[in-house]
Amino acid sequence: MNNFSKVIRDAMARGKVLVSDGAWGTFLHRRGLEPGDCPETWNLSRPSDVAAVARAYIDAGSDMILTNSFGANPFRLAHFGEESRCFELNRAAAEISRAEASHGGAGRDVFVAGSMGPSGHFLAMGDVSEQALYEGFHIQAEGLLAGGAQGFCVETMSDPVEAACAIRAARDVSRIAAAKNNWAPASLPPVFCTFTFAKTSGGEYRTMIGTGVREAALAAREAGASVIGTNCGGGFSQMIEIVRKIRSFDAETPILVHANAGLPRYEDGKTVFPEGPELMASMVDELVIAGANIVGGCCGTGPDHIRAFVRALRHSKRRAGE
């Protein structure tokens, strides 16, 4: 059944890098999603537009793709009055990505990890409890697994306690399914957890609520994440520094990086990302040498970035399976 965990372990053992996908939101906006619309409702109302995003990344060479479920937790869905459809919207998100992945990627297996973004609430402000976060993420993870997700990607986290709630929920949902279906422990869906860091004036990396790289990564690991890392952020060179930092205290855990195409600038009423595919691809090797095992993009990246990563990694013979 699910050999995603094994694929990650094998790639790491062979020193091969897996390629993930890039941004989804930008794509959906290009297809008509208006600012202020709920992107995840498209999983039911416009599935072929969502499938087109998945397909574009598979065609670009991704070994794993995410799902259109970043904001599909009950807390964010509540802004749109959609929280009662949390399970269905997540199930549909995973089904769409799985259907595209099962067509395959020119001879390679493509895996699907269900995206789980932050709730938008802050534990420290007292506007949500840990138990409520856990229960909300539990419904989301159930939907993603029911739709066929082979792993979970808890991402863009800033609070390690919230991240731990999401990770535990995903692990628990997987364990329940494993007991019911007799899955071997080694084939449990992997849980990825990536935090978003900004560089402080002192040169350190901190999340929005002030958590350092080490504290964040250790919390994710302790909660049961089998892949840790960073996403979004201030561009590729910063991601390299963050990966080095993680490797300074953890030599073993696979690291995932979903990098923004640089720090966004606001120009002529538009958000502009400065790092093009070739510039980012020119730094992929350094990111891998720093210790990254799975590389993809976040805001401002698209299929052209992913294609450029694949080319760069093939050139340096770090591409999985080649």
> CA quadruple 299, 55, 75, 4: dihedral positive or negative?
negative
Residue linked to tokens 């855990």 = 253
Interface residue with Zn ion, options 19, 232, 257, 288 (CB under 5 A)? 232
| DSSP for residue 190 | P
Q: Residue 307 is encoded by which pair of tokens? A: 């294609």
Total residues contacting Zn ion (rule CB under 5 A)?
Answer: 4
C-alpha angle 211/149/144, rounded to 5°? Answer: 75
Q: Which is nearer to Zn ion, 253 or 260 (CB)?
A: 260
The burial class, CB within 10 Å (0-12 / 13-18 / 19+), for 220 is buried
Candidate list 298, 306, 308, 310; residue touching Zn ion; CB under 5 A: 298
Amino acid (1-letter code) at residue 178: A
State the nearest-atom distance from the C-beta of 273 to Zn ion, in Å. Answer: 10
- Chain centre distance of CA 280: 18
Of 86, 299, 313, 320, which lies in the binding site for Zn ion, with binding defined by CB under 5 A?
299
C-alpha closest to that of 224 among 136, 120, 112, 137: 137
The least distance separating Zn ion from the CB of residue 81, rounded to whole angstroms, comes to 26
Q: Which of 94, 138, 136, 131 is nearest to 119 (CA)?
A: 136
Residue whose CB is less far from Zn ion, 90 or 260: 260
Looking at the Cβ atoms of 4 and 273, the one nearer to Zn ion is: 273
The residues in 25-54 that bind Zn ion, with binding defined as CB under 5 A, are: none
- Write each residue from 171 to 190 as x if it is in contact with Zn ion (CB under 5 A), else as -, in one continuous string: --------------------
- Taking the complex as a whole, the smallest distance from the CB of residue 106 to Zn ion amounts, in Å, to 27
Amino acid at 162: E
By the 10 Å C-beta count (0-12 exposed, 13-18 middle, 19+ buried), 59 is classed as middle
Q: How far is the CB of 215 from Zn ion (least distance, A)?
A: 21
Site string for Zn ion, 244-263 (x = CB under 5 A): ----------------x---
Question: Any contact of residue 239 with Zn ion (CB under 5 A)?
Answer: no
CB of 130 to Zn ion, least distance (A): 25
Binding site for Zn ion (CB under 5 A): 232, 260, 298-299
